[in-house]
Chains A and B, each alone.
Chain A
Amino acid sequence: MSSERTVGATGTIHDQGYQRYEGVRLPRSRRFLVITRNVLATAWKARWGVKLPLLGAVLTLVVSAGIMIVMGQIESRMGGRGGRLLRADTVLFISYGFFSLFGIILAATVATAAIADDLKSGSFQFYFSRPLRPDDYVRGKLLGLFVLIGCSTFAGPVVLSIIRVCLAEDLGGAIKLLPIIPKAILLGVAGTSALVLPAIGLGALLGKRVAAQAAFIVYWIVISGFVSVVAHELRLPLVGLLALNSDVNVVGGYLFGMPSDSGSPEPWQAGLAIVVFSVAGYVALRRRIRSSATAGLGGV
């Protein structure tokens, strides 16, 4: 039996040589999103410093929602005696303290380092020798940080407020509750700004990640707390403006109808203080970028 084997008559070597890139290049206006994605991807890699607080924020959300639901049930069983709105809002307000705490951890871990690390490791040359404006860089970083920290300090209250609205007994009740959503949004924006911009500003000012982190934590946890207590006891509300956490609390309290305290500053003052701190952080950031963006480029 003859075996018929067909012996191949051809052989090919494929050209693995260089191919020019003929494809599309994405528009310049969207380049900052690449940086945003990078901020988030890098943060995610940072393991415990990021994953834990995010987990904490999720837990807070779940627990608070649970409490709200339970309270709602209790209320309805008790026949609507007083302050249902108040109760839910109280949950929102108290939960904000937790969201804020996790936000502080996230800001300390990621926001302070966002610029400081780049300053140290020569990353600016990497960025600005490419078709990228300093504005794109700033926008990209800030957006990334807002998204990351906002997962706790923005998404937390907003989602809770939406849940609260959904828990209303009927459409009419829901519509009456709707205003808490924009209030939660406002609180979220204020709280997130108060964390992100000063943190990144510190990083830009000090240039070293560890120094910025230390300064941030010391300010936020120690100084801020100390100042707000002292200001409160001494009845010096304007001094209390220096404590960003109490400023955010005052704004939140105002938005959710919490009784205000004579020792606390006025809500509009607190809001203004938040704006001032945020702008200061932003300005520090911009100035630093402007001055060092192209400093090392081109060599000596």
Chain B
Amino acid sequence: MNAPVRMAAPPIHIEACSKWYGQVLGIQDITLTVKQGVVGLLGPNGAGKTTLMKLLAGLLRPSRGRALLFGLPVIDDLQVRRRLGYAPEHEGVYDELTAREFVTLMAELSGVPRARARDQASAALVDIGLENAIDRRLHGFSKGMRQRTKLASALVHDPDVILLDEPLTGCDPVARANIIARIRALAAAGKTIVISSHVLYEVEALTQEIVLVHRGRVLAEGNVYRIRELIDQHPHRVRIECDRPRELAARVLGEEHVVRVQFEDGAVEIETRSPDRLYDAIPRIVLDAGLAVRSLGSPDDNMQAVFDYLTTATPSKPGKPQKGGK
């Protein structure tokens, strides 16, 4: 095809963005594109996550660079901002309003015409499971209910891009399950959702795509399992519980991708530079030796491990970016 294809602008695109407050650095030189679906924004406290979120939400002007929503700068263009919903971590105090009044107010502020705002607000609250408390003052709401009200106010105007900062803090398991289901539904409907949370298994329940921010920069982005594979300093650990772990280990020691073997009661943990080769070899070994395997898995092939390894390791070769994966 020779004719140039007109690409739709990505939902979120940040270009060479930096933000500082006096001498305090928020973020440095971040370039990032976010596509449709759920992406997890991770990072230690103080890494710049909230600054990044606020830049995406158009609440901060970048000191340098641009933040674009569907190709248009989000800071100045109100029309573009109407396609955005933001639920910040700390909400303002509106305790005197009822849930319905609050969300209606937020709806109007987000551009929903007054005639429809109340109905849409009510619908949003019912959707999020708060129909029983819809006319109660926010003052008496539990943390979980407040979180859900916040979420409703971020969704009431049916935005295409949704930014959630710690949406699940203080929520009880029922509210949690509720919100996670809602987010999944939104992703399936084609929305773009950026969720920032410290509770990594919650992010894992929603997505495999992450952006890891550290010291004001993007340290890693993409599929968390591909990122894991790129972390050379930490060979993959595979843990097998079986009846004769030492025999299993003995049969595997000859492979040169095996770096270390560690025994526990009834289990063996094997560290390997090439998880593919190890996983491929195991079934054959198990059947040949007639081992009874109770479990097999990797304790560090997950978001928590990626987070730990990347944020505590000192870079081995500074400035050398790695790319990989399918």
Contacts and interface: CB of A to CB of B under 8 A. Distances in A.
Indicate yes or no for A touching B, C-beta below 8 A. Answer: yes
B182 interface: no
B144 to A, nearest CB: 9
Interface string B140-177: 00110000000000000000000000000010000000
Interface string A252-267: 0000000000000000
B169 to A, nearest CB: 12
Contacts of B142: 300
A202 to B, nearest CB: 25
- Counting chain B residues whose Cβ lies within 8 A of the other chain, the interface size class is under 10
Nearest to B142: A300
A300 B170 CA distance: 9
B173 to A, nearest CB: 14
Contacts of A300: 142-143, 170
Query: From DSSP, what is the main secondary structure of chain B's interface residues?
Result: loop
A242 to B, nearest CB: 35
B6 to A, nearest CB: 52
B138 to A, nearest CB: 15
A300 B140 CA distance: 11
Nearest to B144: A300
Interface string B193-230: 00000000000000000000000000000000000000
B168 to A, nearest CB: 15
Contacts of B170: 300
Contacts of B143: 300
Interface in A255-300: 300
A300 B147 CA distance: 14
Nearest to A300: B142
A223 B170 CA distance: 47
A120 to B, nearest CB: 16
A300 B142 CA distance: 7
A4 B170 CA distance: 70
A169 to B, nearest CB: 71
Nearest to B143: A300
B105 to A, nearest CB: 25
A34 B82 CA distance: 58
A281 B299 CA distance: 61
A300 B143 CA distance: 8
A179 B170 CA distance: 65
Interface string A230-247: 000000000000000000
A179 B143 CA distance: 64
A82 B218 CA distance: 91
A228 B143 CA distance: 51
A207 to B, nearest CB: 16
Interface in B246-273: none
A248 B142 CA distance: 49
A300 B175 CA distance: 15
B95 to A, nearest CB: 15
Interface string B97-133: 0000000000000000000000000000000000000
A300 B171 CA distance: 11
A236 to B, nearest CB: 42
Interface string A132-162: 0000000000000000000000000000000
A195 B170 CA distance: 43
A223 to B, nearest CB: 32
B143 to A, nearest CB: 6
A290 B63 CA distance: 52
B218 to A, nearest CB: 36
Interface string B266-284: 0000000000000000000
A123 B142 CA distance: 22
A300 B145 CA distance: 12
A45 B208 CA distance: 53
Nearest to B172: A300
B318 to A, nearest CB: 39
A109 to B, nearest CB: 30
A68 B143 CA distance: 66
A298 to B, nearest CB: 13
A300 B146 CA distance: 13
Interface in A15-40: none
3 closest Cβ pairs, A-B complex:
A300-B142, A300-B143, A300-B170
Interface of B: 142-143, 170
3 contacts: A300-B142, A300-B143, A300-B170
